[in-house]
Structure 1
Amino acid sequence: MDFLASLKELVRATQAFEHYSSAHVRSMGLTVTQFDVLATLGNQPPMTCKELGDKTLVTKGTLTGVLDRLEAKQLITRVVNAEDARSQKIGLTTKGQKLFEKIFPEHVKYLGEIFNQLSPKDLTQMNHSLKMLREAFEKQSEN
């Protein structure tokens, strides 16, 4: 049970990150999920709903509503997928791309204010530990 202290810190760090990050995203007039979609689509070719859902980890039911709201704001466009007419390709409009180019660097800078408080050695160690943890969970999930 030695892992419980680490688990507690991981959960608390995740909650603190979500609180800090989401407050900034909301101050930009977006929900966290809307930001996630815009950040995923930014500087990328249009993608299907399935691809977008896989990259954002947003469920299909939630994604549909988010896309409807982003489309109403004229930030995304949906077009029939030329490779499979049963699906659509989602991409940013010019307005959406301009918004992405404004908010994404702002948010990275905002998050950087915290991460820059850690030394390069601390960041490397944290990255290594988190990667090992993720890989352990992924390996166990495959069984």
Structure 2
Amino acid sequence: MPDQPGKHRSIPLVRELVRTYQAFEQLSSQRIKQHGLTHPQFDVIATLGNTPGMSCRELSERTLITKGTLTGVLDRLLDKGLISRTVPEHDRRSLFVALTPAGEAVFDSAFPDVVSHCGEAFDHLDDASLNQHIAMLAALRAAIGQKLEPAE
């Protein structure tokens, strides 16, 4: 089958998008590790911070962690004493997850530090440029979302 013009023109875009993600992951991982956390653990701590807690289902929807991975991440955070898991009386099939005082302390220390450290990478961008990048990334996400098959 002959190559159609423009058929693979998005490959450089995808490559750059992946390289950008990998660079950001490396930048943030360096700082997150200084707080004794992995990326998924930080995601949970950051999501639970400044909240009274939430169900596992809500936590799964609000983090970047797949449902299959979340249980193991929560187990490790529980072992570290950073979260509590309880079964609500009104819904015995559900689990409620909240930060412990130790978890709140980690959030209070790690979250602003990691956000500040990573944010410095974008300090050279003026507001108009930053907003343009945000809009372009949102458009890319929307384009990809249109190609995703609906969840069954």
Under a length normalisation based on structure 1, what TM-score does the superposition of the two structures give?
0.91
Alignment-mate amino acid for residue 139 of structure 2 = M
CA contact (8 A) 1:48 1:81 kept: no
Instruction: Select the residue among 110, 121, 132 that pairs with 1:114.
Output: 121
Q: Which residue of 1 aligns with 2:73?
A: 66
Query: 5 Å matches for 1:60-139?
Result: 60-139=67-146
Instruction: Select the residue among 12, 23, 27 that pairs with 1:16.
Output: 23
Under a length normalisation based on structure 2, what TM-score does the superposition of the two structures give?
0.86
Q: Which has the higher helix share?
A: 1
CA contact (8 A) 1:75 1:93 kept: yes
Alignment-mate amino acid for residue 33 of structure 1 = P
Alignment-mate amino acid for residue 40 of structure 2 = T
Structure 1 residue runs without a partner (length 5+): none
Change (3 A) 1:57 1:112: closer
Distance 1:64 1:43 in 2: 21
Q: Which has the larger radius of gyration?
A: 2
Distance 1:61 1:139 in 2: 25
CA contact (8 A) 2:82 2:100 kept: yes
Distance 2:77 2:31 in 1: 18
Distance 1:132 1:16 in 2: 21
The count of residues paired between Structure 1 and Structure 2 equals 143
Q: Which runs of 4+ in 1 moved over 6 A?
A: none
Alignment-mate amino acid for residue 61 of structure 2 = D
Give identity over the alignment, percent: 47
Query: 5 Å matches for 1:42-61?
Result: 42-61=49-68
Distance 1:57 1:31 in 2: 13
1:127 aligned counterpart, secondary structure = helix
Structure 2 residue runs without a partner (length 5+): 1-7
